[in-house]
Structure 1
Amino acid sequence: MRRYGKHTDEDDIRSRPNRKGNRPRSNIRPKHEDAVEGMVLTVDRGRLTCLVEDRVVMAMKARELGRKAAVVGDRVGIVGDLSGEKDTLARIVRIEERKSVLRRTADDDDPYERVVVANADQLAIVTALADPEPRPRLIDRCIVAAYDGGLTPLLVLTKSDLASPDELLEKYGALGVPHIVTTRDEFVDGAAADRVYEHLRGRTTVFVGHSGVGKTTLVNALVPKERRRSTGVVNAVTGRGRHTTTSALALPLSGKEGGWVIDTPGVRSFGLHHVDPSRVILAFPDLVPGTEGCPRACSHDEPDCALDEWVAEGHADPARLYSMRRLLATRERREGD
């Protein structure tokens, strides 16, 4: 092995060429000031379908974004071929700041959170009153995820001709969550879509629900015919629906007032490992002032929580505190417990 002493000349040292090229590395990233804004409509195996003005453009994420991923609903900066013609591919070079995010984890003990949708205004939670049976715990978890992400929840109950909605609605009465109750006949004649539309126009709404509740059927009634998706049926043995939606997709809402609906794959669980109680309570503005005396990092469901005394003094409805704590408790219990 050759050794170099203090009198070694620089010519005696053999320099190894940079196999990746001789250009020095730089931490300076291009600004892409000429990037055009687009909206991500869907993501499929690394390819992102985006709406740029009136054109649908296929794009991929630029290397300089690193591990940062764009999701459906993201506003992004795009460069390259924006013609939208067949076999063209643009690059997403920037993801704009998000005004809201819908997150979930695969399970409650999974520390890796996944952003499902960005920049939505509300979350429509679709559940059947029968066939399949409603799952209140899943509804609770979806409501918590909506509050945590800055979305307004909307409860859509289907198949009320098979079972009464009264018990379920009583459970959510204190939360003040707006709701719509529909029958199977209303799905057929379009009355259900007309009533749901009143809550959607001019807004971006994410639809979630487990399979077989009529979620995609409802979405199809709200969007132009050429954009409709396939639907499935409920298994007569298991009572579960078949997943027909495999990826989230943003679709334009029919009507002159605009708006978007985002259909998501049917969910069987909604992990809440990522949820911060301090964000959830912001959805209860009548309770927020009572948290001023809470200890640091209070979960708002512990012996020292200041909300108990504050509500006992008559500053807020006890039912509201109970409902908020019931929602927060879903973080500690697995779906189905």
Structure 2
Amino acid sequence: MARELDEDDIRIRPGRGSRPRTRERPEHSEAVPAVVVGVDRGRYTCRPDPWPERLVAAVRGGSMRRTSVVVGDRVALVGDTSGHQGALARLVRREERTSVLRRTPDDADPAERPIVANADILVIVCAVTDPEPRPGLIDRCLVAAYDGGLAPVLCLTKTDLAAPDAIIELYRPLGFPVVTTRPDTDLTPLLALLAGRLSVLFGHSGVGKSSLVNRLVPAADRAIGEVNAVTGRGRHTSSAAVALRLPGGGTVIDTPGVRSFGLGAVAPSRVLRAFSDLAAAAEMCEPGCEHLAPSPDCALDSAVRDGDADAARLASLRRLLAARGSAP
């Protein structure tokens, strides 16, 4: 006679989610500190810190899968950090950033896209001709530098083809370094600014950024493009940001050329931080004052009239505020 079955005769396989979850995460005390020097389709090229000769390929692991990681980030690696062909490490931690260069798709979109982390200097590369200078893009790069905690440097290229005086004079009131280059000039002044620092080179297509990188780092062998004679635009020759060691010490990050730079995530108050000489007067403005145009109600205009602020500096501030738009 068949035995009657009960619940003890039925084996139930535990579901995938039946294992108790814990908020505790491994400390990875054995993790190797490294700096991200390249990013390509989900793979991160990292150089263990301090800089040895080997490079380590890594992927984001575990809780890091949703964490933004860009060139310049300081990270922690576990797994195979030998750097041998086929070896793959796991990126388990990103250290706190000291600065970040970021932009948005456009001014109406506040979604930030980090480009480079932990850089000390933003070198804005601009040709004085072929293609023609774009002060609007320079202004936007300046806003991003001040907002992200980077010190700006303006590097004017192709000065053998046209005089740089007009654009130098335009940015003189801002007080940051401006250097000029041409194919036959010594790069010592620029190298002196970059020595021992982490710097990022940024500019629109065709300004000679890749040529400049090849002169700064002869072993870089970055591809060089040409400017279209009809449109005045260059083609992108750098497809991704990459960090390169300067022969005399320091690191320079080459970035792809751009044609736009959205600032939808930058508030006017963050731009004003770069103008410490105007900040005290701005605090006397009525709430909601955007400081965009001359007005009897803007305390900055009163400060200029009273001789407590420089008119050229105020004009520069207003140009930068206009570049990022008037939205708070």
Which residue number in structure 2 is paired with residue 230 of structure 1?
A: 223
1:264 aligned to 2:258? Answer: no
- Three-state SS of the structure 1 residue aligned to 2:283 is helix
Instruction: Please tell me the residue identity of whatever aligns with 1:223.
Output: V
Counterpart Cα distance in 2 of 1:16 and 1:277:
61
Which residue number in structure 1 is paired with residue 269 of structure 2?
A: 278
Query: Shift of residue 177 of structure 1?
Result: 2.3
Which residue number in structure 2 is paired with residue 242 of structure 1?
A: 235
1:132 to 1:85, Cα distance in 2 relative to 1, 3 A? same
1:261-311 Cα offsets, whole Å, 9 max, x none, are 000000100001011222221211111222332344643337554323233
1:148 aligned to 2:141? Answer: no
Counterpart Cα distance in 1 of 2:64 and 2:206:
38
Instruction: Please tell me the residue identity of whatever aligns with 1:234.
Output: V
Instruction: Please tell me the residue identity of whatever aligns with 1:281.
Output: L
Which residue number in structure 1 is paired with residue 199 of structure 2?
A: 205
Query: Shift of residue 183 of structure 1?
Result: 2.4
1:323 aligned to 2:316? Answer: yes
- Three-state SS of the structure 2 residue aligned to 1:153 is strand
Instruction: Please tell me the residue identity of whatever aligns with 2:180.
Output: V
Which residue number in structure 2 is paired with residue 4 of structure 1?
A: none
Counterpart Cα distance in 2 of 1:221 and 1:317:
38
Match of 2:16 among 8, 14, 20: 20
Q: What is the aligned-residue identity percentage? A: 57
TM-score by length of 2: 0.90
Which residue number in structure 2 is paired with residue 67 of structure 1?
A: 66
Which residue number in structure 1 is paired with residue 189 of structure 2?
A: 195
- Three-state SS of the structure 2 residue aligned to 1:287 is helix
Instruction: Please tell me the residue identity of whatever aligns with 2:76.
Output: G
Counterpart Cα distance in 2 of 1:286 and 1:15:
76
Instruction: Please tell me the residue identity of whatever aligns with 1:235.
Output: N
1:250 to 1:298, Cα distance in 2 relative to 1, 3 A? farther
1:77 to 1:263, Cα distance in 2 relative to 1, 3 A? same
After superposition, the CA RMSD in angstroms is 2.1
Instruction: Please tell me the residue identity of whatever aligns with 1:251.
Output: L
Which residue number in structure 2 is paired with residue 113 of structure 1?
A: 112
Instruction: Please tell me the residue identity of whatever aligns with 1:317.
Output: D
Query: Shift of residue 326 of structure 1?
Result: 0.8
Whether the aligned pair in 2 keeps the contact of 1:220 and 1:228 (CA below 8 Å) is yes
Query: Shift of residue 17 of structure 1?
Result: 4.9
1:136 aligned to 2:135? Answer: yes
TM-score by length of 1: 0.87
1:43 aligned to 2:44? Answer: no
Which residue number in structure 2 is paired with residue 289 of structure 1?
A: 280
1:206-242 Cα offsets, whole Å, 9 max, x none, are 10111211101111111241x3321111122222111
Aligned counterparts, 1:5-16, within 5 A: none
1:78 to 1:295, Cα distance in 2 relative to 1, 3 A? farther
Tell me whether 277-286 or 132-141 shows the greater mean CA deviation. Answer: 277-286
Instruction: Please tell me the residue identity of whatever aligns with 1:146.
Output: A
Query: Shift of residue 20 of structure 1?
Result: 1.8
The count of residues paired between Structure 1 and Structure 2 equals 314
Counterpart Cα distance in 2 of 1:317 and 1:88:
58
Which residue number in structure 2 is paired with residue 313 of structure 1?
A: 306
Tell me whether 20-29 or 323-332 shows the greater mean CA deviation. Answer: 20-29
- Three-state SS of the structure 1 residue aligned to 2:277 is coil
- Three-state SS of the structure 1 residue aligned to 2:21 is coil
Whether the aligned pair in 1 keeps the contact of 2:300 and 2:309 (CA below 8 Å) is no
Counterpart Cα distance in 1 of 2:290 and 2:305:
18
Whether the aligned pair in 2 keeps the contact of 1:224 and 1:253 (CA below 8 Å) is no
Tell me whether 63-72 or 199-208 shows the greater mean CA deviation. Answer: 63-72
Which residue number in structure 2 is paired with residue 78 of structure 1?
A: 77
Which residue number in structure 1 is paired with residue 210 of structure 2?
A: 216
Counterpart Cα distance in 1 of 2:89 and 2:254:
25
1:28 to 1:298, Cα distance in 2 relative to 1, 3 A? farther
Counterpart Cα distance in 1 of 2:304 and 2:61:
52
Counterpart Cα distance in 2 of 1:18 and 1:318:
73
- Three-state SS of the structure 1 residue aligned to 2:30 is coil
Tell me whether 292-301 or 324-333 shows the greater mean CA deviation. Answer: 292-301
Instruction: Please tell me the residue identity of whatever aligns with 2:64.
Output: L
Instruction: Please tell me the residue identity of whatever aligns with 2:93.
Output: R
Which residue number in structure 1 is paired with residue 55 of structure 2?
A: 56
Instruction: Please tell me the residue identity of whatever aligns with 2:171.
Output: Y
Counterpart Cα distance in 2 of 1:60 and 1:288:
44
- Three-state SS of the structure 2 residue aligned to 1:307 is helix
Instruction: Please tell me the residue identity of whatever aligns with 1:261.
Output: V
Query: Shift of residue 194 of structure 1?
Result: 2.8
- Three-state SS of the structure 2 residue aligned to 1:199 is helix
1:25 to 1:130, Cα distance in 2 relative to 1, 3 A? same
